[in-house]
Structure 1
């Protein structure tokens, strides 16, 4: 693939200005030039940048890293991965997992992700590693319906890990457990955040009815008529006209009546919505987790 310097900024977390300085001072990258003299980069240059950033997170100076051969860089990275408890900064793992994912290296991605799960647990892993990866790839704030292959590859592995974590939890519930209905609207399909919410709710002894993606309001209404639901949680992520978003909220609030509604996702949209008294918004993962802990039995 071909990347602009702004693409590198998004994927590496390093500002474009800093990338240019590293190029000029340390020969960190060797950009190609278009006919209009615009910088562009290939997969090899992106991987090199992610490696440089990863090693910088371990304490090595940029000047030292850029003077190393590719073989020496690989050896240092392998050593850091084998000594995973020693690395304190989550950005290291974010960059390495991105590197493995963008090159379709499933074995290395799975190996490092499993080690992170063992070290941090699924909740800390999602908040500090998985979620930043998804943000960098743009999964949470898509402007179109076409998902690049790397995004599919990475998100499917992450989704599989969360499913495994959910399946490992006890299915027992008593009659006092709160029941949550989780779903995404008909035009929403990125469900990793919803799956993580499913995990957090179950860890905190809540009963969860997970409907998944692209659920019509008619289906929500049927569930609410069939069984007692205490809370409804959905994500509104894709950009959409304010009138369309407000109508959806209004229609959902009519269906839910006095049931607690919780919304999360794209704050640029949610900030403009008029919400009823029984509709709550979550602005962050921490806010959601705190709320669940305080309301669970």
Structure 2
């Protein structure tokens, strides 16, 4: 089934671009900038092309271009001008807008060139926390309002995933583990939200520790063999949507009984599902963290 969203309400456009619906209607009437269609019941809707165009128009307007000048451009000229302006934009808040534009326009060139510019100014950790995290937060907000499509979200997260992998491989080639503790990173059954865990893998290696990255959807039984190879182990996992509320206590109980059988074995946890746990009742070998940054401080 094709679940790519291709029809947007004027409220969707307002949520994504920050341009008020009233202003959008004025631009339509006065400059013919957008061409909405109507349903059989006369409700106005907008195509993905309309959404992309409006986000580009808003960005150009915020960068000093008059709406009359933008309206005089050919449709094909607008994305090109946006890319050129974005790459020269040095204001403090330009990066989020640029990355969001890259996402909505499926513009890999703009994403890569923006990233290369950031590399000259910041470490990869700073890029992730200061630029990628706000983008991912924005994506989450747009999902809540049903504004963006699965294609947009996958496009952005795949590009971020690539950068994490490239930087992890580079640092693995340079850094030698100087720690006896082995960190085992995994996600529980049916949990697929992996970006945070991937970044944590990068941070652990960058801090000189040994990391064993197992990835998505690993059952507890699949972790037990690790105990035969190492003595000092810290398991680390993200509980974003799994285990679910009704199962999370049983999961922790099973994990504790199966894996926390030696005091040198620990379990570090992150993720929004932790709100379902009573931390006072957890084993002393289990440590919850409210953010990736706070966990990294513990390394």
C-alpha change, 1:191 and 1:263, in structure 2 (3 Å) is same
Is the CA contact 1:262–1:282 (under 8 Å) kept in the aligned structure 2? yes
User: Distance in 2 between the 1:111 and 1:291 partners?
Assistant: 31
Q: Once the two structures are superposed, what CA deviation does each residue of 1:102-148 show, in whole Å capped at 9, x if it has no partner?
A: xxx43443333333344333222222333344444459989xxxx94
TM-score for the superposition, normalised by structure 1: 0.77
Tell me what 1:48 maps to: 53
SS at match of 1:119: coil
Tell me what 1:202 maps to: 205
Is the CA contact 2:17–2:55 (under 8 Å) kept in the aligned structure 1? no
Structure 1 residue 167: Cα displacement: 0.8
Considering only CA atoms, is the larger Rg found in Structure 1 or Structure 2? 2
Aligned length: 276
Is the CA contact 1:57–1:92 (under 8 Å) kept in the aligned structure 2? no
Does the alignment pair 1:120 with 2:125? no
C-alpha change, 1:65 and 1:215, in structure 2 (3 Å) is farther
Q: CA RMSD in A?
A: 3.3
User: Distance in 1 between the 2:274 and 2:131 partners?
Assistant: 25
C-alpha change, 1:140 and 1:173, in structure 2 (3 Å) is farther
C-alpha change, 1:222 and 1:110, in structure 2 (3 Å) is same
TM-score for the superposition, normalised by structure 2: 0.76
User: Distance in 2 between the 1:243 and 1:62 partners?
Assistant: 55
Q: Which runs of 5+ in 2 are unaligned?
A: none
Tell me what 1:166 maps to: 168
Structure 1 residue 209: Cα displacement: 1.1
Q: How does 1:217-296 map to 2 (within 5 A)?
A: 217-238=220-241, 241-257=244-260, 258=263, 259-265=265-271, 267=272, 269-275=273-279, 276=282, 277-284=284-291, 288-293=292-297, 295-296=298-299
